[in-house]
Copies of this chain bind each other. A is one copy, B any other.
Amino acid sequence: MKSSPEAPQGCIGQRVDLIDTPSLVIDLDAMERNIARMADFARKHQVRWRPHAKLHKSAEIALQLEKAGARGHCVQKVAEAEALAAGGVVNLYISNEVLAATKLLRVARLAAQLAARGGRLALAVDSEEGIARLAEAMAVAGSDAGIDVFVEIDVGQGRCGVPPGPEAVVLAHAVARHARLRFAGLQAYHGRAQHLRGAAERRDAIAEVVRSAAHTRALIEAAGLPVPLVTGSGTGTLVHEAASGVYGELQAGSFLFMDADYARNERDPAQPAFEHALFVKTQVISARATHAVCDAGHKSHAIDSGLPLVHGLPPERALRYANGGDEHGILHPDGPKARLPALGRMLWLVPGHCDPTVNLYDHMIGVRGGLAHGVVERIIRVDARGALT
């Protein structure tokens, strides 16, 4: 008798139409085109590229990105770093604040383990207490391995980070005082700017972000401390940080799968033409006179950034997905010639937000040859699924 967590909904060599539902399917051809576009973009702009693994949560995909030119990976949680390190990733940056003593001891242990494997761990800070606790944990762990520390400044997100300016100078010096802590630069990420719909809005928001980061960097260097790197950016605005001359590293991760929400942005002409590569396969389990019901609800995809799009239908036959609860989606005709899908029909959904969608699955099913006639080539484990601490 099968028990949770689930076995993969598909197996290698299986035809796409036989994949069980609901399931999370990667169009490998589309994903690899996105990787090539991003690698090419980073090369042209001569910026480091450290993609955020909070998107895919998979060591296998992280290593594939590093083969294509990515220099290490970002994560948000210590447990995500541990899961990716267990899968062979050795250059990791926890681009977030960590305060609990138990977590900081895990950070110190992981820093030593990665150093022993020729890698490096980095962490973000935004308080003197956070810096002192990190230094104490590194001392308790007792290894000679150091850790890279980025001072986070709030460039408009209104979340973590000190204001750009003098407070960041104080923190940079506080970091530099500790032998095992290396001041690595500034963490400056404006998440909300990624989803401003207008290309000009995003350009103007990032222009201000770049000014703040450059000003703060100048203050720290005027105080006698070099700032090795300014890091941040995301898929929605990377064209601006890449051209800024201030950002030396891009953290964009979503380009790999492309959320439905990113498709709602007015595209900047300089932005690579990333395509949707992650889909939820679903089946119609109830066909009514006024609507159809599929077996993918918000337990199958995250809805924090909007409902999924029904993929692969011509505009005149478009279907609209409405929320039907944890386990159901309600399908309505949207295009002028749209017909309700028949009982048993398979459909493809583009998740509104891929990161938390991936977190709902133990495996992603990698398909080669397209969603219509492809076959399963790889079953990709979501190593950091549920990695919260």
- Interface assignment of A177: CB less than 8 Å from any CB of chain B: no
A361 to B113, CA, bound (A): 27
Cross-interface CB contact of A286 among B126, B283, B290, cutoff 8 Å = B126
Question: Closest B-chain residue to A20, C-beta based?
Answer: B389
Tell which of A1, A57, A383 has the most Cβ of chain B within 10 Å. A1
Given known A-B contacts A3-B86, A82-B1, A76 and B127 have beta carbons under 8 A apart: no
- Asked if B160 contacts A285 (CB within 8 A), the reply is yes
Selected contact of A99 from candidates B82, B285, B382, CB within 8 Å: B285
Question: With an 8 A cutoff between CB atoms, is A328 at the interface?
Answer: yes
A273 surroundings in chain B (CB, below 8 A): none
A102–B20 touching, CB < 8 Å: yes
What are the interface flags for A266-294 relative to B under an 8 Å C-beta threshold, 1 for contact and 0 otherwise? 00000000000000000111111011010
Q: Do A76 and B326 touch across chains, with their CB atoms under 8 A apart?
A: yes
Interface size of A by CB at 8 A reads: 80
Q: Are A300 and B388 in contact (CB under 8 A)?
A: yes
* A21–B389 CB distance below 8 A: yes
CB of A87 closer than 8 Å to a CB of B: yes
* B383 engages A355 (CB within 8 Å): no
Bound Cα distance from A12 to B389, whole angstroms: 18
Q: Does A199 contact B (CB under 8 A)?
A: no
Give the docked Cα–Cα distance between A191 and B325 (Å).
9
Report B-chain residues with C-beta under 8 Å of the C-beta of A148: none
Q: Smallest CB–CB gap between A383 and chain B, Å?
A: 6
Contact (A1, B191) CB under 8 Å given A22-B388, A159-B325, A328-B159: no
6 A-B contacts, Cβ less than 8 Å apart? A20-B100, A54-B327, A126-B286, A127-B286, A159-B330, A326-B356
Chain A residues with CB under 8 Å of chain B are 1-6, 9, 20-23, 54, 57, 76-77, 79-80, 82-83, 85-87, 96-100, 102-103, 106, 110, 113, 126-127, 129-130, 154, 158-161, 191, 283-288, 290-291, 293, 298-300, 302-304, 323-328, 330, 343-344, 355-356, 359-362, 382-389
Known contacts A5-B386, A361-B388; can you find 10 more A-B pairs with CB under 8 A? Answer: A3-B87, A77-B327, A96-B327, A159-B324, A159-B328, A160-B288, A161-B286, A299-B356, A304-B323, A359-B360
